[in-house]
Amino acid sequence: FCLQTMLAARCPTDELSLTNCAVVNDKDFQNGQHVIVKTSPTHKFVFTVKSHNTVLSGNIAFSLPQRKWVGLSIGQEVEVTPYDFDKARQCIGTMTIEIDFLQKKSVDSNPYDTDRMAAEFIQQFNCQAFSTGQQVGHTMGRGAVCVFGDEQVGSKGIELGLAIANSQVIFEKAESSSLALIGKSKTKQGRQSIINPDWNFEKMGIGGLDREFSDIFRRAFASRVFPVELVEQMGECGGHTTQKNNPEGCGETPGTMTVCGPSPAWRLFVFRQLGANSGLHIIIFDEIDAICKQRGTMQGSTGVHDTVVNQLLSKIDGVEQLNNILVIGMTNRPDLIDEALLRPGRLEVKMEIGLPDENGRVQILNIHTARMREHKLLGDDVDVRELAVETKNFSGAELEGLVRAAQSTAMNRHIKAATKVEVDMERAEKLQVMRGDFLNSLENDIKPAFGINQEDYDSYIMNGIIVWGDPVTRALDDGELLVQQTKNSDRTPLVSVLLEGPPNSGKTALAAKIAEKSGFPFIKICSPDKMIGFSETAKCQAIKKIFDDAYKSQLSCVVVDDIERLLDYVPIGPRFSNLVLQALLVLLKKASPHGRKLLIIGTSSRKDVLQEMEMMDVFSTNIHIPNITTGEQLIEALELLSRFDDRERSRISQHVKGKAVWIGIKKLMMIIEMSLQVRANPVCVVMCFSLSHFLSLSLILFLSSAIAVVEP
């Protein structure tokens, strides 16, 4: 026992203040020793001391936060006694630290990584004494912060403890602090649940919609019922995010970046007064076509748009030319922008932001999965290169959406969204986004805008392709040759083919099958059934948009189905839309942009009409799709359809073998289904016999199947 009466002094340097030790002369106490400081009969505090030769013997120096915590004044007498920790009982297990900036001028909006801060804290304060409520000053990375309200929360809830290498440090920000914390080493933030725990669908009178509600929760609310910390580690699934990338090669440090919406803000150009030696200033006009339309094109306007364009032109040109301002305009309608704005010296550099290629998709996916990979939330079976191959024609936003959808799918495995919303938190701690989550999202959730609409193909090839003879085989083979020509030939980036033949011969199904087998990343069907009620102008715009979208992909296929219907052709008159005709004539012959290849497949049942309209010449070649013309072909079709047994096929064969027939495959399939209904309802046969004097090949097939049912 060695009691000393000492005088409280001011810490000699800021560096020593941040050690959070009481500073003494080495003649009084040894460096790293622990002492009890008694400021009154009832107030005792434990400090770790650091020796320094600038402190006079008999003095003990404290930092300002320490003096505030203890309630000391300079020159006050205190009793100092050595203190030894019981390391078996007084080592800190977990320390919770409430933090804020020491000075308001040090406020920083950037987030602080609590994991890194915890490691730095333990490294600097290893083997130091800490007490509940103690105030500590410490520099955390970018600036000084005041650490206060320390609590040692060990297994026994000790009030005084020794920080060791194994101590866990948890940070929480002060109640009114603007400090942003990220990482695992922070307190779990309380949040108000968006879902009433007692709420369920049944009380609202809603039932039978479990699947629909499950999808809603998976896509919209899954991340809201998980802990904030886990959502942050996922990186992106909490909501919509915007990412801004500074352009490379624009200067060491951009001085200012300002993003403007459609409303012009000419005051931004005051950056000119800073001079050519100032930092780079970037002004971005989003949707610039909204304020810079072609002058004189706004009918009935007061000329406001023209004035806006004139002002922007004068601001860009200016009196003095400076090189410290970069103006960027963004639009998806460059055709609407006034040409004067695009001349050299103004917005002279035109850059098309196309769809990312495979390597680009790998980079984008790596960016959006980086946080998951860092926190080991990405499954080992996830291959980003594989996902890049499977996401042809995905835009960056769609790839980001794919990652969010996969995260939601993974979360949904731990959410039961039936009558109540429940989360298995024990399993959720081991949550990982697996390969199956991405593949499920690819199949069900995220479809590229410039990709393939599988539903269209399912409707056009509902019953498959029936190869009833050589004409069908030749059509498919010729189509494959044209696909390979489009892929491999640089001399013919535009290839077009017309499939023509009688109605119900299966032209649309063959065109859809050729397109599907091509494997092109962009396939669209331009069909008149999607343009019912369109005016001529609207129909032209819809057709043009399909071709414009096709030009954005490196390999594209456009199926122009039922051309005479697109033209609104009727034989009375005859009448047709000349506006649509001229649009098709231009688009079918228009060369693809450099590096883009396009296959066009047209279908028509009126070759004679297209010849009169001079449309046949715009196609590279044409393929005739005939009807079934022989009994042998009919029997082959029946065998492939497998809708009859051997006895029924034998009876039908007796009627049609060696005979000339004329029936389309679609018509044949319809008659077969009718005959099967007769098989199921034999009473219908009586009506069929009453029509025997109108017997044709179609009814022969119909009756042959029906008679086979009623015979003993």
Give the other-Cβ count within 10 Å of 150's Cβ: 21
Q: Are residues 480 and 607 in the same domain?
A: yes
Q: Are residues 466 and 573 in the same domain?
A: yes
Q: What span, in angstroms and rounded, lies between the C-alpha atoms of 116 and 314? A: 51
Q: What span, in angstroms and rounded, lies between the C-alpha atoms of 33 and 302? A: 83
Give me the CATH number covering residue 37.
2.40.40.20
Count the helices and strands in the chain (H runs, E runs). 23, 26
pLDDT for 139 = 76
pLDDT for 349 = 74
Write down which residue in 82, 111, 137 finishes a domain: 82
Bridge partner residues of 416 (DSSP): 422
Q: Which of 589, 617, 621, 659 is catalytic?
A: 589
For 65, how many CA atoms within 13 A lie in the half-sphere containing its CB?
23
426 in any annotated domain: yes
Q: Which of 100, 562, 568, 667 is catalytic?
A: 562
pLDDT for 96 = 86
pLDDT for 604 = 95
Tell me whether strands 143-152 and 94-101 are parallel, antiparallel or unpaired: antiparallel
- Residue 687: what residue type? M
Residue at token pair 């090839």: 461
Note whether 444 and 514 are within 8 A (CB). Answer: no
Bridge partner residues of 182 (DSSP): 113
Where the chain has pLDDT below 70, the residues are 1, 104-106, 140-158, 188-280, 297-305, 318-324, 416-421, 426, 452-455, 678-712
Q: Are residues 485 and 618 in the same domain?
A: yes
pLDDT for 17 = 87
Q: Which of 50, 507, 539, 597 is catalytic?
A: 507
User: Phi and psi at residue 384, in whole multiples of 5°?
Assistant: -60, -35
Q: Which of 173, 508, 597, 667 is catalytic?
A: 508
Note whether 35 and 49 are within 8 A (CB). Answer: yes
How many domains, in total, are found in the chain?
6
- pLDDT tens per residue across span 55-77: 999 999 999 888 888 888 999 99
Q: What span, in angstroms and rounded, lies between the C-alpha atoms of 80 and 62? A: 13
pLDDT for 203 = 56
326 in any annotated domain: yes
Strand arrangement of the beta sheet that strand 494-500 belongs to: 522-526, 555-560, 597-604, 494-500, 621-624
Q: Are residues 656 and 602 in the same domain?
A: no
Q: Which of 28, 150, 561, 568 is catalytic?
A: 561
23 in any annotated domain: yes
* Structure letter (DSSP) for residue 485: H
Range of the domain at 672: 631-705
pLDDT for 228 = 62
pLDDT for 707 = 43
87 in any annotated domain: no
Give me the CATH number covering residue 390.
1.10.8.60
39 is catalytic: no
Q: Are residues 571 and 665 in the same domain?
A: no
192 in any annotated domain: no
Task: Return the SS3 of 459.
Answer: helix
Q: Are residues 413 and 439 in the same domain?
A: yes
Write down which residue in 419, 445, 471 finishes a domain: 445
Write down which residue in 421, 445, 469 finishes a domain: 445
Q: What span, in angstroms and rounded, lies between the C-alpha atoms of 331 and 285? A: 9
338 in any annotated domain: yes
Q: Are residues 615 and 473 in the same domain?
A: yes
Q: Are residues 508 and 649 in the same domain?
A: no
Note whether 584 and 560 are within 8 A (CB). Answer: yes
562 is catalytic: yes
Tell me whether strands 143-152 and 136-140 are parallel, antiparallel or unpaired: antiparallel
Note whether 368 and 399 are within 8 A (CB). Answer: yes
Q: Are residues 418 and 479 in the same domain?
A: no
Nearest residue to 388 via CA among 413, 417, 355, 415: 355
Q: What span, in angstroms and rounded, lies between the C-alpha atoms of 213 and 54? A: 71
Q: Are residues 12 and 132 in the same domain?
A: no
> Which residues have a Cβ under 8 Å from the Cβ of 258 and sit 6 or more positions away?
265, 268, 281, 282, 283, 284
pLDDT for 154 = 43
Instruction: Give per-residue burial for 634-669: e unless 16+ CB within 10 Å, then b.
Output: bbbbbeebebbeeebbebbbeebeeeebebbbbbbb
> Which residues have a Cβ under 8 Å from the Cβ of 640 and sit 6 or more positions away?
466, 467, 468
Task: Return the SS3 of 543.
Answer: helix
pLDDT for 106 = 67
pTM, 2 dp = 0.57
Q: Are residues 675 and 601 in the same domain?
A: no
Nearest residue to 480 via CA among 517, 523, 506, 512: 517
Nearest residue to 322 via CA among 280, 358, 257, 275: 275
Strands (E), 382-458: 415-417, 421-423
Burial (Cβ within 10 Å: 0-12, 13-18, ≥19) of residue 547? buried
Cis peptide before 574 (omega within 30 of 0): yes
Bridge partner residues of 542 (DSSP): none
424 in any annotated domain: yes
Q: Are residues 172 and 219 in the same domain?
A: no
561 is catalytic: yes
88 in any annotated domain: no
User: Phi and psi at residue 499, in whole multiples of 5°?
Assistant: -95, 110
Bridge partner residues of 376 (DSSP): none
- pLDDT tens per residue across span 332-377: 778 788 888 888 777 777 777 777 888 888 888 888 888 888 888 8
